[in-house]
Amino acid sequence: MRSTIGWQVEGTSSTLRRAPLERRDLRPDDVAVRVDYCGVCHSDLHAVKAQNSEGGRPLVPGHEFTGVVTETGSAVTRFTAGDPVAVGNIVDSCGECAMCQAGQENFCHAFPTLTYNGTDRHDGSTTLGGYSREYVVREHFAHPLPAGLDPAAAAPLLCAGITVWEPLRALGAGPGTRVAVAGLGGLGHLAVKIAVALGADTAVVSRSPDKADDAHRLGAHGLIVSTDPEQMADARDRFDVVLDTISTPHDLGPYLRLVAVDGTLSLLGHLGPLTLETTDLLLGRKKLSSAGSGGRPATAAMLDFCREHGITADIELLPSARVNEALDRLRRNDVRYRFVLDMSDLDLAASLRSS
């Protein structure tokens, strides 16, 4: 086993503490990655909350990170030591089902192995996430980090970025289409950047008129204030695609009414029960869809597109020792628009521990 150090929560605590961690010895198709930057996702917050209420096995969050390959297994052909890489929220899949064969490992029929709190397909161990200084991953689930992308600001592309990229591409967003992004947070701000770069006429839907300047800075052509009945009525049936990135439970009706005839509302933010009146679908042959993460081909295409268009996340970079502060502020929506942890401070912690 390989030793590293990271941030872990145990039992029914909600406080992450620095702890020694073990990674597996490299299998032939593995790469060892020095984790430099790891994004903080709402999923991490939910996982820590679940740990707090249920206890159970130790949890190391983190599933959107960038770093550098430090060692390769004997059969690795895609990477050598020193290569910059990016890893997302899926680190393995069955490789055999129809979804895997189609490059949609995110929909693996046997369920993909998640970057943390998943089950390793070979030894049954629990995966520990990217809030750590090293990660060991199959080479096929690591992606070359394109030159020119800032590695800290690129880390959220591996979760938030791919989560909005797949539905935008699947729903044909581009020149001549009208896209609305509901919610301007970690997912939403990247959805705006990508939709604009695809050539879509893009608007933001937000409860707060204070987001207008940010919406325009990100490239949106307008802001619709969702708490203003007149603005929402004026925007009725306007958009071919509405990406709903709102992370809290809410009524879908107002957002479905923004969708044009034969258009689609895609749910990306809240993964739980929501209120739906079927007549809001009926009036206009509207469609309701969802999406989650992305397969390897789509992730590679997204990274290349972001390189070509200079797209990264708007981040606040914090030393990893402030991880609990980041989670607390994320809980209060006090971030524009993604926290990223600088994992290099773990080197000092490791040297102090060994001295």
The helix, strand and coil proportions of the chain, stated in percent and rounded to the nearest 5, come to 30, 30, 40
Other CB atoms within a 10 A radius of the CB of residue 251 amount to 12
Give the predicted TM-score (pTM) of the model: 0.95
Cβ neighbours of residue 231 closer than 8 Å, sequence gap 6 or more = 224, 225
What average pLDDT score do residues 66-86 get? 98
Identify whether residues 55 and 175 lie together within a single domain: no
What's the pLDDT tens digit per position in 149-177? 999 999 999 999 999 999 999 999 999 99
Q: Are 245 and 265 within 8 A, CB to CB?
A: no
H/E/C letters for each residue in 234-263? HCCCCEEEEEECCCCCCECHHHHCCEEEEE
Q: What is the pLDDT of residue 353?
A: 57
Identify whether residues 12 and 73 lie together within a single domain: yes
Identify whether residues 329 and 187 lie together within a single domain: no
Picking from 237, 257, 290, the residue at the C-terminal end of a domain is 290
Look at residue 351 and tell me whether its pLDDT is greater than 80. Answer: no
What's the pLDDT tens digit per position in 121-143? 999 999 999 999 999 999 999 99
The three-class DSSP label of residue 161 is: helix
Picking from 272, 290, 308, the residue at the C-terminal end of a domain is 290
Identify whether residues 198 and 211 lie together within a single domain: yes
What is the C-alpha to C-alpha distance for residues 134 and 277, in angstroms, rounded to an integer?
47
CATH code where residue 74 lies: 3.90.180.10
Identify whether residues 303 and 251 lie together within a single domain: no
Identify whether residues 264 and 196 lie together within a single domain: yes
What average pLDDT score do residues 176-197 get? 97
Which segment of 14-28, 76-90, 270-284 scores lowest on mean pLDDT? 270-284
Distances (CA, A) of 97 to 103, 121, 123: 10, 15, 21
Domain count, the chain: 2
Alpha helices in 55-142 (DSSP H): 98-101
What average pLDDT score do residues 247-272 get? 94
Phi, psi angle pair for 345, to nearest 5°? -70, -15
Identify whether residues 112 and 61 lie together within a single domain: yes
Picking from 290, 311, 335, the residue at the C-terminal end of a domain is 290
Q: What is the pLDDT of residue 56?
A: 73
CATH code where residue 282 lies: 3.40.50.720
Q: Which domain holds residue 228?
A: 160-290
Identify whether residues 216 and 307 lie together within a single domain: no
What's the pLDDT tens digit per position in 20-29? 999 999 999 9
What average pLDDT score do residues 224-253 get? 96
Identify whether residues 350 and 266 lie together within a single domain: no
Identify whether residues 150 and 167 lie together within a single domain: no
What average pLDDT score do residues 275-293 get? 92
pLDDT-based confidence at residue 355 (cuts at 50, 70, 90): very low
The fraction of the chain above a pLDDT of 70, given in percent, is: 98
pLDDT-based confidence at residue 274 (cuts at 50, 70, 90): confident
Tokens 């490059």 appear where? 103
Degrees (nearest 5) of the Cα angle 311, 313, 318? 145
Q: What's the mean pLDDT when you consider all of the chain? A: 95
Identify whether residues 20 and 154 lie together within a single domain: yes
Look at residue 9 and tell me whether its pLDDT is greater than 90. Answer: yes
Which among 186, 163, 143, 145 has a CA at the least distance from the CA of 40? 186
What's the pLDDT tens digit per position in 101-123? 999 999 999 999 999 999 999 99
Q: What is the pLDDT of residue 350?
A: 62
The fraction of the chain above a pLDDT of 90, given in percent, is: 89
Identify whether residues 207 and 332 lie together within a single domain: no
